Amino acid sequence: MAEIVFESTGTVELFKEKLQELSSRNKSVLILACDANNFSKEDLDDILQASDASLIGGVFPAVIFNDAKYDKGTVFIGLDDYIEVKTILDISAKDRVNLDSEVEDHLESFEEDVRTMFVFVDGLTTNIGTCIDVLFDNYGLEINYIGGGSGSLSFEQKPSLFTNSGLICDALIYGYSKKASSIGVSHGWKSISGPYEVTKSEATVIKELDYKPAFEVYKSVVDNVSGKAIGEENFFDVAKSFPFGINSISDEKIVRDPIILDGTSLVCVGNVAQGSYVDILQGSNENLIEAARYASNHSKSSMQFKEEFTFFIDCISRVLFLEDKFGNEISAVYEEELPLVGALTFGEIANDGKNYLEFYNKTSVVGRIGNDQ
């Protein structure tokens, strides 16, 4: 069984103590830490490098443990399964060819009995979409993927990924696991306008929609629906309720979260390809909570193994939208007889063994992790 510990103080001393304890009894440790712990490379690198267990995880705005969200502290998940972790550094500076070459090199140690891949990426960097595409191109549909984007709500990019070499940034890390998994994905956002062609974009920045400045189009819709004049000063507060939905071949639109207004351009979490078509979406408390329940039920209904814990990857912007109702979303997923752990992320990474691997925003991903009976 997984050995799960929540350390609530967020201090370096207790991080070291708990990690040493779990590393001595487990082959691998997943680490989910809060940004408010204020961990730095100087604090943690020696501690991480001294671990005998394989390490993977990240720093997030908040974490989930059982029936509650925590803004400070660290969740440790000790596993009896050795997770072989792969790292790709400086992803923002690499094109698709270079990223593909590095991932391809990692295939040499991939074994057929790998069933789940834990994936974490610096959620405040660029090229995330390309990284996820390259992973899928090389590893395909034979395994499940689950993970998310690390980072801080300050939007300051800093080291936020845990590895045995230390705390790193601008990177993609992924680990091979022989644990069984069953995954559900849903977001609950509904279209209110569109589709619009993305006639000019660059990585995460939407510059034009239907050959018009992106913000001009976005503002015309959002002002009318919200009853507020969205601008530079209130952009984040208003935009959190009106994400984009990229039309795709999957059952649901792929949500992109606009987080920064840059002149007349909109900076999103995750890439938006030029030539794609997007809708403007809106959500309600009821729809978002029901979507989390659907993701949980879907993951449970397709489970054919003995579950050890539930892994809940949920977007931090859902917390900002739901506010004091977010506890209802956790309740829709939590089952008292099983531990629930998770992170509030900058983008969610998931695939259920049937559909294309995606980097989502504003989405609930529920994974059940365990062993064959």
pLDDT tens digits, 162-193: 999 999 999 999 999 999 999 999 999 999 99
Residues 52 and 70 in one domain: yes
**Residue written as token pair 């800093």:** 158
Final residue before a domain boundary, out of 219, 248, 282:
282
Of the residues 282, 300, 333, the one at which a domain ends: 282
Q: If you count DSSP H runs as helices and E runs as strands, how many of each does the chain have, helices first?
A: 9, 25
pLDDT of 246-295, one tens digit each? 987 666 789 999 999 999 999 998 889 999 999 999 989 999 999 999 99
CA–CA distances in Å: residue 273 to residues 144, 219, 268: 25, 21, 12
Q: Which domain holds residue 169?
A: 3-186+287-371
Q: Is residue 84 domain-shared with residue 98, that is, in the same domain?
A: yes
> Do 17 and 142 share a domain, yes or no?
yes
Q: Which of 282, 311, 344 is the last residue of a domain?
A: 282
Q: Are residues 200 and 83 in the same domain?
A: no
Q: Do 270 and 293 fall within a single domain?
A: no
Q: Are residues 156 and 210 in the same domain?
A: no
67 and 80: one domain?
yes
pLDDT for the residue 351 = 87
Integer angstrom CA distances of residue 365 from 92, 119, 271, 368? 25, 13, 19, 10
Number of structural domains the chain divides into: 2
Per residue of the chain (373 residues), what is the pLDDT tens digit?
899 999 999 999 999 999 999 999 999 999 999 999 999 999 999 999 999 999 999 999 999 999 999 999 999 999 999 999 999 999 999 999 999 999 999 999 999 999 999 999 999 998 898 999 999 999 998 899 999 999 999 999 999 999 999 999 999 999 999 999 999 999 999 999 999 999 999 989 999 999 999 999 999 999 999 999 999 999 999 999 999 999 876 667 899 999 999 999 999 988 899 999 999 999 899 999 999 999 999 999 989 899 999 999 999 999 999 999 999 999 999 999 899 999 999 999 998 666 788 899 899 999 999 998 6
Q: pTM score, two decimals?
A: 0.92
Residues 253 and 314 in one domain: no
Among the listed residues 228, 229, 218, 226, the one whose alpha carbon sits nearest the alpha carbon of residue 196: 218
User: Do residue 213 and residue 329 come from a single domain?
Assistant: no
Angle at alpha carbon of residue 65, lines to 152 and 162, rounded to 5°: 45
d(CA 91, CA 50) in angstroms, rounded, equals: 26
Write a three-state SS string for 140-207.
CCCCEEEEEEECCCCCCCCCCEEECCEEECCEEEEEEECCEEEEEEECCCEEEEEEEEEEEEECCEEE
Task: Check whether residue 57 and residue 147 sit in a common domain.
Answer: yes
H helix intervals, 227-334: 235-239, 285-301, 316-322, 326-333
State whether 275 and 292 are in the same domain: no
Please tell me whether residues 111 and 88 are part of one structural domain: yes
